[in-house]
A and B are shown apart, each in its own frame.
Chain A
Amino acid sequence: MSLLDDPRSHALDSTADAITTGARSRGWTRLATWPWSLRVGVALLGTVLLVLLLTPWLAPYDPAAQDLTNRLTAPGGEHVLGTDHLGRDVLSRLMHGGRFSVSVAALTLAISAVAGTLLGIVCARVRGAFDELVMRVADVLLAFPEMVVAMMLVAILGAGQGTLIVALVIAGWTPFARLARGLAIEINARDFVEAAECLGFSRRFIVLRHLLPNALGPLMAHASLRFGHKLITVGALSYLGLGVQPPDSDWGSMLAEGQPYMTRSPGLVVFPGLAIFVTALAVTLISQGIDVRRRRQG
């Protein structure tokens, strides 16, 4: 595997030491040992998730309720973050839209991770023609920028939430498959797997008992690295009108809707973007923190 395969993932280069530190990663509960980036990241992400989870109870207004006499009001007063061009409460819309953005990003990431990991592990165990086929397909997909995949799928399936998820999964499973395959091949060659094979344990047992637990750490690190990117891409497609369709809205579509009015109400653009930034930043900080922590221990 060369540097070019996936230069954006730090997870790949540290595969080997990640496997060895996997066993040592207890003591996660000791907050005092966390680097500051991990603490800040977890706090930020925790807050965002908590707010989104409690949105039905926390949101001050109905996100779709229009009030045409109160259009484009400034932040402060009755509407904490102001109102948009239809007089809808920006804060409530942010909270409801965030549920959509974050859940779509998380869902696509989960599907990509699970599907990619399983394929990768199967490839590593079976090898031969199946392995070759899957890896060549991954090679082809690697040449497709995510946006191009999404555009093609929109052309084929039409715009919408389903298309968005399918497109991001098609573009997203390959790094997981490669990473899982590499890890599985490495773990496969180690003594405890050989021992289990000699003892006559089934393939499924070896995969579940030895491969998955040992590969999980690096795979999770990679997943957390991708989440921010996914969130931004989901927003980009909605911003372009190719993702979520009205009357639903997410952070990306809110930003697009607010843009024509941004001279008068900059908040309509600033707040949704800030929400994406803070959430993506939180995840970036977490993966950075995990990295720092692993290096300290390693």
Chain B
Amino acid sequence: MRRALVLVITLLSVSFLVFMIPYITPGDPVRKILRARTGDLDLDPEAVERLRVAYGLDRPLHEQYLDWLGRALTGDLGLSFTSRADVAGMLGSALGVTATLAVAALLFALLVALPLGSIAAIRRGRPADTIITTVTQAFVAIPEYWMAPVLVLVFALRLGALPSAGWDDPRYMILPCLTLALRPMSYFTQVTRASMIDVLESPHIVAARSRGLSFGVAMVRHGVRNAILPVVTLFSVWLAGLLGGSVVVEVIFSIPGMGRLLYTAVVNSDTPVLQAAVVCIVGLTIIITTLTDVLYAVINPTVRSANVAA
């Protein structure tokens, strides 16, 4: 219950922060709307006042906020300043694209990280472990805006094997996914390794092995669940993180997702889109994090108490 309360308060404060953006930026919001729409610098003062009344921007701030919040809650997020398209619709399609991209990238990262991390754990302290650990840790130091152009240069421009930008069939997903997957792959591998080591040394695995169970059987019956749990948690944290964290990759590959939506909104001073995108990203981040926390406790209550202490 306390959780839910914190969630609501956080969301409300975020929405208020975001609502205030046009008011704390220098300049008159009405003039900014007109300028974004017409690009005109000399605005007719009468037209400005008419628009102010028409949009209700002459009312007290708290009234405007409640009105804005009420409409946002019913799904009416207004129209884009620049394209005049429905913001809710724009947000919906962008969210779908980013979610697809993020899930694909993270699944790919998992697919590589789980075996790598397990091998490193089993061969702990041997050359294989050192190589895997060092190489995957180096992934964290690779900037996406370097990886992406280099991949484009090699696979799209030189080899012509893959499209360099856009969002159409699954082939368009390969390079962006590869770029996005590097960093989570590094963390997934490290966490898999650490939790596998814990499991390998845990008494029930040692007991199972001493009962004569083979290594594989012991792991499948008693170890895998505990080993994978922390990785699953990390997966959802990254999922939340990539909702707003794939800006660079989406811009480079011209992918019509949340990140590029946010970026173009900032560049064009498209306030309604910016506000909606920020609330959406932050709201989803909080919801995913909370759900994960709850799920984690449901799946494994013992781990929960252990982690509270950490």
Chain A residues packing against B (C-beta within 8 Å): 1-4, 7-8, 12-13, 37, 136, 139-140, 143-148, 151-152, 154-157, 228-229, 232, 235-236, 239-242, 252, 255-256, 259, 262-263, 266, 269-270, 272-274, 276-277, 280-281, 283-284, 288
Contacts and interface: CB of A to CB of B under 8 A. Distances in A.
Nearest to A40: B134
A228 B141 contact: yes
Nearest to A155: B266
Given A12-B310, A148-B278, A240 B263 contact: yes
Nearest to B13: A140
Interface stretch (B78-86, B208-216, B220-228, B229-237): B229-237
Contacts of A3: 230, 233, 296, 307, 310
- From B24, B143, B265, B304, residue with most partner A Cβ within 10 Å: B143
- From A140, A266, A274, residue with most partner B Cβ within 10 Å: A140
26 contacts: A2-B296, A136-B9, A143-B10, A144-B244, A147-B244, A147-B259, A147-B262, A151-B247, A152-B274, A155-B21, A155-B269, A228-B141, A232-B141, A239-B248, A240-B251, A255-B145, A263-B153, A263-B157, A269-B149, A269-B150, A272-B146, A273-B146, A273-B150, A276-B143, A277-B143, A284-B141
A156 B25 contact: yes
Interface residues of B, number: 59
Contact of B146 (A1, A37, A276): A276
Contacts of A147: 244-245, 247-248, 259, 262
A145 B141 contact: no
Given A143-B285, A155-B269, A2 B308 contact: yes
Interface of B: 6, 9-10, 13-14, 18, 21, 24-25, 134, 137-138, 140-147, 149-150, 153, 157, 187, 191, 230, 233-234, 237, 241, 243-245, 247-248, 251, 259, 262-263, 265-267, 269, 271, 274, 278, 281-282, 285-286, 289, 292-293, 296, 304, 307-308, 310
The dominant DSSP class at the A interface is helix
B138 to A, nearest CB: 6
A82 to B, nearest CB: 16
Contacts of B243: 145
B310 A140 contact: no
A1 B24 CA distance: 35
A232 B143 CA distance: 6
Contacts of A1: 307-308, 310
Given A4-B233, A151-B266, A255 B21 contact: no
Contact of A273 (B6, B10, B143, B244): B143
Contacts of B244: 144-145, 147-148
B143 A151 contact: no
Contacts of B267: 241
A146 B244 CA distance: 8
Nearest to A258: B149
A255 B187 contact: no
Nearest to B248: A236
A281 B144 CA distance: 14
B293 A145 contact: no
A139 B3 CA distance: 12
Contacts of B137: 284, 288
Given A7-B233, A151-B262, A151-B274, A284 B146 contact: no
Nearest to A15: B310
A145 B289 contact: no
A284 B145 CA distance: 19
